[in-house]
Amino acid sequence: MRRSRPAVLVTGAGGYLGRRLGRRFLDEGDHDVVLAVRSEAGRAALADDLGAMAEQARIVVADLGADDPFNEIDDGLRRRVTRIVHTAAVTRFNVERDVARRTNVDGTGHVVDLARRCPVLERLVHVSTVYATGLREGVIHEEPDDGSAGFANAYEWSKWAAEQVVVDEGASLPWSVLRVATIVADDERGRVTQHNAFHETLKLCFYGLLSLLPGRGDTPLYFVTGDAVTDAVARLTHPACPGGVYHVSPERSGALTLDEVLDLVFTRFQEVEEFRHKRILRPLLADRESFELLVGGVTSFAGSLVHQALANVTPFARQLYVAKALDNLRLRTALPQYRAGDPSALVAATVDQLVQHRWGRRVEVV
Ligand SMILES: NC(=O)c1ccc[n+]([C@@H]2O[C@H](COP(=O)([O-])OP(=O)(O)OC[C@H]3O[C@@H](n4cnc5c(N)ncnc54)[C@H](OP(=O)(O)O)[C@@H]3O)[C@@H](O)[C@H]2O)c1
């Protein structure tokens, strides 16, 4: 690290997006790169993951649940921080509200507080989610949301509340809020290195553990790759890009409906002998009332396979009844080179990869 260079700080640097962004900034080489992780174990794991590159970075421990998380960032470094990219968050959809509040909301408050103490700051990027708009339906513009539509779970609520912290407490700062769609694969070839609710739900379908799914067939779903998001976030971190709220997501025309996704997924599954042999049917879509009745009914069989399968989908179930038409004009204006790619090809490639590797357990194909 050179004492005169500008510095970029990435929080959540041990997470999926944080790692990718950290590497990207190290590759770009025009800033000192400060990587914030939650714990000492996270520091060791990240250093190991970066290998020789770790020498070019400074890894700091900053637990956002602590009172003074950034105490490893001394005054000299603070005065050189020109860019902050805040990705750290508890990302489980079933997170408890108090945990979500402490890390995602109050934690963002700590980041904004640090940003206000960085005298040469040019950009504060807060990485959010398209679901920070909660249960809002219809056309959704790239602007702050008032939260009045409610939320499917505490994760969504906390990501909305974190946006409010940035917009209100960071009002005098050069902020951007980047609402990211669901990352289904690292790249267009469908490689998957981090599983989320999308992958786990497909796994349950493949093994015939879900005969019923919540949702409406015409609900649009917005998918992106880790590569596309990393590139967009890195570019939007540049101070030449205007601040504001961005949807790092395809617009409505680049989304697939839930029905289209299920058709595609089950067509790909049918290519596999093991799946065909079991004669597993595509799950039926339940209306909201029926699904809630079902969930209420099976909770008494705690520990059963059905209960475990439902527990996986229940935290985001309400969202599958909400038709959002995302607008991404601001994104396309700032990044004319942004291309969403073909969502059907992306889902097909992702499903093929998941099946081939049986969700992580590699199956050699001869
Ligand atoms: N992946 C997606 O599909 C997606 C979609 C939309 C939006 N996003 C948003 O993108 C951001 C990054 O997501 P991701 O997929 O990279 O998630 P991730 O892999 O779960 O990474 C989140 C990171 O935050 C860290 N963290 C959690 N609690 C913390 C605390 N108290 N103090 C400091 N760090 C803490 C985690 O550290 P530990 O592992 O040590 O706990 C982890 O490294 C999140 O804000 C998420 O809301 C992601």
% of the chain at pLDDT higher than 90: 90
Q: Average pLDDT, whole number, for the chain? A: 95
Parallel/antiparallel/unpaired status of strands 223-225 and 32-37: unpaired
Could you tell me the two tokens for 113? Answer: 């507080």
- The reported pTM is 0.96
Q: What are phi and psi of 154, to 5 degrees?
A: -70, -25
Please check the confidence at residue 246 and state whether its pLDDT lies above 90: yes
Could you tell me the two tokens for 58? Answer: 């400074």
**What is the mean predicted confidence (pLDDT) over 298-322?**
81
Burial of 202 (0-12, 13-18, 19+ CB in 10 A): buried
According to DSSP, residue 25 is labeled: H
| pLDDT tens readout for residues 259-282 | 999 999 999 999 999 999 999 999
Q: What is the pLDDT of residue 366?
A: 40
Tell me which long-range contacts 51-54 makes (C-beta under 8 A, separation of at least 24). Answer: 53/23, 53/26
- Reduced to 3 states, what is the DSSP secondary structure of residue 178? strand
Please check the confidence at residue 247 and state whether its pLDDT lies above 50: yes
**What is the mean predicted confidence (pLDDT) over 169-182?**
97
**What is the mean predicted confidence (pLDDT) over 184-208?**
96
Q: What is the pLDDT of residue 318?
A: 97
Please check the confidence at residue 307 and state whether its pLDDT lies above 80: no
Q: Is 44 near ligand 1, meaning CB less than 6 Å away?
A: no
| pLDDT tens readout for residues 13-71 | 999 999 999 999 999 999 999 999 999 999 999 999 999 999 999 999 999 999 999 99
Q: Report the C-alpha gap between 242 and 333 in whole angstroms.
A: 10
Ligand 1 atom 2 nearest Cα: 183
Q: Is 314 near ligand 1, meaning CB less than 6 Å away?
A: no
| Cβ–Cβ < 8 Å for 125, 233 | yes
The residues spanned by each domain of the chain are 7-183+223-253, 185-220+255-324+341-360
Give the HSE-up count for residue 117: Cα atoms under 13 Å, Cβ half-sphere: 13
275 CA → ligand 1 middle, Å? 33
Could you tell me the two tokens for 128? Answer: 């959010």
Q: What is the pLDDT of residue 4?
A: 78
CA nearest 332: which of 256, 213, 212, 246?
A: 246
Given pLDDT bands bounded at 50, 70 and 90, which one contains residue 297? confident
Q: Is 90 near ligand 1, meaning CB less than 6 Å away?
A: yes
Q: What is the pLDDT of residue 302?
A: 54
Q: What is the pLDDT of residue 96?
A: 97
Ligand 1 atom 12 nearest Cα: 87
Q: Report the C-alpha gap between 35 and 25 in whole angstroms.
A: 10
Ligand 1 atom 13 nearest Cα: 17
Please check the confidence at residue 301 and state whether its pLDDT lies above 80: no
Say which residues have a Cβ less than 8 Å from residue 59's Cβ, sequence separation at least 6: 13, 35, 36, 37, 43, 46, 47
**Position 329, amino acid:** L
Q: Is 183 near ligand 1, meaning CB less than 6 Å away?
A: yes
Q: Report the C-alpha gap between 91 and 361 in whole angstroms.
A: 24
Q: Report the C-alpha gap between 246 and 328 in whole angstroms.
A: 7
| Cβ–Cβ < 8 Å for 78, 54 | no
- For 7-183+223-253, give the CATH class: alpha beta
Please check the confidence at residue 283 and state whether its pLDDT lies above 50: yes
